[in-house]
Amino acid sequence: MIYSSAFNIHVYISAITLLAGLTTLGLAIHGWRTNRNFGRKDSVSSLVFSIGLYFQLILGFMIYFTLRTSLEGAVWDVPDTENDASLRFWAIEHIALMILALFLTQLGRLFIKRSSKSILKFKASLFYNSASMLLILFSLSIALIFR
């Protein structure tokens, strides 16, 4: 019961985080093409996307490490984890891709803060958040296969 509720919350927060990511990308493209100043809404959008990813990481770790029932056991304890593509995806690949996406988003925020020109901030936002979104969407598409 708790596991399924937490998993559903994880899915809903994922959708909100993806919308924040798409908004961030849209603002970055618009700002870059129109040469406008990097404003508060651009910064807030990037921050919301980053916070959403951190929240997803914490919630994902809670689901993965603490909310699994004792009957299921840990994914890495299953003898066929390395031979079963579905178990391997959830035990290793999904986590690695999501942490890498969070790292890229955080790296992008660092470059945004350190850049002095608005055009460089938009380019950094577009590059790092696009790479992060591609990893997230790739992981989600694989997750739909192994669901």
Summarize pLDDT for 63-109 with one digit per residue, the tens: 887 876 544 555 555 556 667 777 777 778 888 999 999 999 999 99
Q: Which helix (H) or strand (E) holds 99?
A: helix 94-114
Q: What is the pTM of this model?
A: 0.86
Domain count, the chain: 1
Both tokens of residue 50? 């980053």
| Structural domain for 71, as ranges | 2-145
Please, are residues 35 and 119 in contact by the beta-carbon 8 Å criterion?
Answer: yes
Span of 34-48, 58-72, 104-118, 124-138 with lowest mean pLDDT: 58-72
- Residue 50 to residue 69: CA distance in whole angstroms: 30
